[in-house]
Structures are given as structure tokens and as C-alpha cells.
């Protein structure tokens, strides 16, 4: 039997009207649907139970959305490097990144024991619930854990398939593979450093920064920008400017995520607001608070933020939030986000990108960081 046909996107522009970043994001959703059509058909041909229980569940998980920032950053990198005309490969890479993101989120929630994602049960929780209601026997939690690992693996396989199809159809395929390989390794390295820091109770600012860069900054912004630029055959100068822009904007994104993890509204974020604090996850926000508490002799803050065994109860989480505020850590991180966002715009401007692309990059940085960069008017 012949395998599924390649699912690289068809022509995405017509009437000489180039896509904008929001338009590219919307068009990417149609690419995802074509990918799902092919992958779910293959899953049903492989095994109907697997297709119903896992492949359909994974597709539904990805369809629930998210910010879809990575597709927009791929588009910005492509346009900044002179990309124009048919954006099919850009959309396919965006879809591959969304599938890779699904893998990362499923595994991350499993490792962190997170119950919610995007306002719905996390994948391992959903599988465990299905095990209980189906009365299939055994430990529902163990089943949910194992099934979620496989679902994340399946998302990674689908992402790799799509990236491979896109790269093989591109004259810049080797450069795409190089960026993709590096990004996957960085993701795993960042996740491991995160686990290791949590196990050791680290409070080090340098370690927190390393985790933020590996786990989020490069993967969310820097690598998508470079993937898009590689599609357009970018020169070394342009790639260097985009990598610098992506590192700054990506760190701003992660710092905002850290603040939301400590102070956010679950109704808006779709996940618990106290999870990072209960588990004492090492973030730059926590590292800043520990440093400031020690420097000012705030013993209460230092004690409540220090490592200890087990999850922290609600009253301790409230004391941690107060310490983050009282030490000035929250304000310091807010200021750093604004500085990083502005630096990201300056580096992006060095690419010589057209005004439309610079404006859309500025809008994306604002979405990712939660602040309007101070240099935005001069930048555009």
C-alpha cells in the first residue's frame, strides 16, 4: 500500500497580495488540517483503536490552539531575509513547529504533574480519566503517564515528517535540517536542566538564565526566525541579527511567562497560577528574589524562597508571592522584560527588513512580552 502523500502546503498567496504575519498564522491552520487528514487516515489504516484513542486525541489537542507565535516568527524571519512570493514552505514549517510544541507541552505537563493545559485537562490527565471511565483495569495514573509519553512521541514524529517533507522540497533543505536538529537538542537540554535544577533546589541566576534560553528563548523566537530566514537563503549578517533579536525577544517571552506562572489569572492562561511556586521551579524571577533577599537581609523572604522537600501548601505560596513583591524581584523582572523587548527590536532593525515586517515583528514582541517596546515608534 502506498504511504500518505506529502503534506507540504499548497500555494498560499494570490493576486500579488503577500501574507501578513496574522494571515500566515491563519493559513497555517489550514496546513495543519491537511496534515491531520493524512496522518489520521494513516492511523486508521494502521489500527483503529490507536487512531481513536491516541491520534484523534492528539489532533484535538493541537486544534485547541495556543498563541501560534512560532509561525508568525518564521514568517518574520523569512520576510526579513527577503522572502517573497509563495509562502507554502513557511506555513509548513509553522505547522511542524506547532506539532513540536504539542510534544513539548505534553511531556512538560507530565514531568511537572500539571493538571491543566489550554483550559482543559493535560494529556496525561485526559488519558487517565479515559482509563477510569472505560474500566480497563490497572492504575489509571500509570496508564495516563505511559499513554501521554506515546502521544508526545507521536507529535514529534509528525513534526519531523512534515519538516523533512518541507526541507526535501527546498533548495535550502540542509540549512533547515541544521536549524531543526539544533532546536530539538536545545529543547531536551533545557528540559533536563530544568529537572536537574528542581531536583537540586538550585537558586543560581546563571542556571536560571541557561534554562530560560535553552528551553524557551531559542525555541520560541530565535530558531523560528532562523528557520524562516534559512528558507530565504539569508546571509550571515542577517542571520546574526535575527538570532540576537530572537534571543532578546525570546527571553522577554519567558520572563513574562514566569510572571504569569506566579501571578497570572488561570482563566486567562488556561493553567494553574501557583504551579511554579508550589514546586519551587527555578526561574529568573525566583533567582532574582533570592539574590535580593540575601542582599537586603530579608530573612523571611530568604526562608520562604529556600529549597525544601515536597510541594508547598497554599499559605506558603501566598508568602512566596509576597516575597517576590517585597524584594522588588517582580519589578526588576518587569523592567528587564521592557529592556529585552527594546533590544530585540534594535537587532531586528539591523536586518534592513521592510517597514511592514518591522511593524509586525514589534507587534509580535508586544504579544510575547506583554509590553509595548519603548523604541517601537523609532523602530517602525
Statement: residue 14 has pLDDT above 80? no
The number of distinct structural domains making up the chain is 1
Statement: residue 7 has pLDDT above 60? no
Residue 5 lies in a domain: no
Which letter, b or e, does each residue of 81-97 get, where b requires 16 or more Cβ atoms within 10 Å of its Cβ? bbbeeebbbbbbbbbbb
pTM: 0.91
Residue 11 lies in a domain: no
370 — pLDDT class (breaks 50, 70, 90): very high
Check residue 378 and give its pLDDT: 55
> Which segment of 28-37, 134-143, 332-341 scores lowest on mean pLDDT?
134-143
Could you give the C-alpha distances from 280 to 170, 195, 201, 287, 304, in angstroms and in order? Answer: 44, 11, 8, 11, 10
* CA pair distance 363, 345, nearest whole angstrom: 10
The three-class DSSP label of residue 121 is strand
Check residue 276 and give its pLDDT: 87
Residue 213 lies in a domain: yes
Mean predicted confidence (pLDDT) in 90-100:
98
Statement: residue 312 has pLDDT above 50? yes
What are the DSSP calls for 167-189, one per residue? Answer: HHTSTTHHHHHHHHHHHHHHHHH
Contact between residue 12 and residue 19 where contact means Cβ atoms under 8 Å apart: yes
Choose among 262, 326, 259: nearest CA to 297.
326
Residue 3 lies in a domain: no
CB within 8 Å of 209: residues ≥ 6 apart? 284, 287
> Which segment of 133-147, 177-191, 247-261, 329-343 scores lowest on mean pLDDT?
133-147
Residue 282 lies in a domain: yes
Residue 1 lies in a domain: no
Residue 67 lies in a domain: yes
Residues pairing with 375 in the sheet? none
Contact between residue 186 and residue 219 where contact means Cβ atoms under 8 Å apart: yes
Residue 8 lies in a domain: no
Query: Which pLDDT tens digit goes with each residue over 16-32?
Result: 457 899 999 999 999 99
| Domain interval for residue 177 | 21-379
User: Which CATH number belongs to the domain containing residue 342 in this structure?
Assistant: 1.10.600.10
Amino acid at each position: 500500500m502506498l504511504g500518505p502523500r506529502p503534506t507540504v502546503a499548497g500555494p498560499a498567496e494570490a493576486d500579488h497580495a503577500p501574507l501578513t504575519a496574522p494571515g500566515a498564522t491563519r493559513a497555517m491552520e489550514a496546513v495543519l488540517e491537511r496534515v491531520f487528514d493524512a496522518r489520521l487516515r494513516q492511523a486508521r489504516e494502521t489500527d483503529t483503536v490507536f487512531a481513536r484513542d491516541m491520534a484523534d486525541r492528539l489532533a484535538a489537542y493541537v486544534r485547541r490552539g495556543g498563541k501560534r507565535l512560532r509561525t508568525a516568527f518564521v514568517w518574520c524571519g523569512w520576510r526579513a531575509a527577503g522572502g517573497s512570493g509563495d509562502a507554502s514552505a513557511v506555513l509548513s514549517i509553522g505547522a511542524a513547529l506547532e506539532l513540536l510544541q504539542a510534544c513539548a507541552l505534553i511531556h512538560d505537563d507530565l514531568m511537572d504533574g500539571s493538571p491543566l493545559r489550554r483550559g482543559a485537562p493535560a494529556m496525561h490527565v485526559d488519558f487517565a480519566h479515559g482509563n477510569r471511565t472505560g474500566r480497563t483495569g490497572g492504575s489509571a495514573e500509570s496508564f495516563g503517564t505511559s499513554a501521554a509519553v506515546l502521544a508526545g512521541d507521536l507529535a514529534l514524529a509528525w513534526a519531523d515528517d512534515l519538516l523533512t517533507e518541507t526541507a526535501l522540497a527546498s533548495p535550502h533543505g540542509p540549512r533547515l535540517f541544521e536549524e531543526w536538529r539544533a532546536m530539538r537538542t536545545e529543547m531536551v537540554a533545557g528540559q533536563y536542566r530544568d529537572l536537574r535544577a528542581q531536583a537540586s533546589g538550585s537558586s543560581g541566576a546563571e542556571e536560571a538564565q541557561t534554562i530560560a534560553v535553552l528551553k524557551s528563548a531559542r525555541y520560541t523566537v530565535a530558531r523560528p526566525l532562523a528557520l524562516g530566514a534559512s528558507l530565504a537563503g539569508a546571509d550571515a549578517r542577517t542571520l546574526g541579527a535575527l538570532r540576537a533579536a530572537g534571543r532578546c525577544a525570546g527571553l522577554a517571552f519567558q520572563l513574562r511567562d514566569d510572571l504569569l506562572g506566579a501571578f497570572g489569572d488561570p482563566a486567562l492562561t488556561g493553567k494553574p497560577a501557583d504551579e511554579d511556586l508550589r514546586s519551587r521551579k527555578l526561574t529568573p524571577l525566583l533567582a532574582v528574589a533570592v539574590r535580593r533577599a540575601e542582599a537586603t537581609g530579608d530573612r523571611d523572604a530568604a526562608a520562604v524562597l529556600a529549597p525544601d522537600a515536597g510541594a508547598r501548601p497554599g499559605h506558603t505560596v501566598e508568602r512566596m508571592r509576597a516575597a517576590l513583591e517585597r524584594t522588588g524581584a517582580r519589578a526588576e523582572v518587569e523592567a528587564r522584560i521592557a529592556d529585552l523587548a527594546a533590544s530585540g527590536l534594535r537587532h531586528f532593525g539591523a536586518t534592513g527588513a521592510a517597514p511592514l515586517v518591522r511593524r509586525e515583528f514589534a507587534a509580535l514582541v508586544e504579544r510575547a512580552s506583554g509590553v509595548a517596546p519603548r523604541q517601537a515608534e523609532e523602530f517602525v
